[in-house]
Amino acid sequence: MFDINNIDKSIAINLNPQSLAFVGDAVFSLYIRQRIVLDEEVNVNLQHKLTTNFVKASGQSEIISKISKMLTEEETKIFKRARNYKTNNIAKNAKVIDYKRATGFEALIGYLYLIGNQPRLDEILNVGYDTIHKELENNATNRG
């Protein structure tokens, strides 16, 4: 995605889970924005609304439910460590469980990005995008 030096797994795995999630949040948000700009022919206001469905805690929590069985043991440890990390920060519009699961998902994304595992990152991001996109399509069909 960017031309930066990757870090060794042993360094990345020992980073604070909140730091991994901080990076993962940015990576995931940029990925979703790019997909929406390239895949959806809608105005900027709707692009923002669509992006929100993907990056909100409940959306990320749903994604981790979908991908949990495909995670390696190492990826599961990264996710659980961040999910279980004690924090006082809770999004005001999110359930605690969704927020914690979203933090774990973002930490996993941050970890994969920092170690430079682009193929695995792409795989997880694509499944995540497809999961929420299908849900949005189903909701639109059920409403209309």
**Residue 25 annotated among the catalytic residues of the structure:** yes
CB of 69 closer than 8 Å to CB of 48? no
Number of Cβ within a 10 Å radius of residue 55: 17
Instruction: DSSP for 83-141, please give it.
Output: HT---S---TTS-HHHHHHHHHHHHHHHHHHHHT-HHHHHHHHHHHHHHHHHHHHHHHH
Tokens 């993962």 sit on residue: 24
The tokens of 8 are what? 């060794």
Task: Given the residues 3, 25, 39, 98, select the one marked as catalytic.
Answer: 25
Percent helix, percent strand, percent coil in the chain, to nearest 5: 75, 0, 25
- Straight-line distance from the first to the last Cα atom of the chain, in angstroms, rounded to the nearest whole number: 37
Active site amino acids = 25
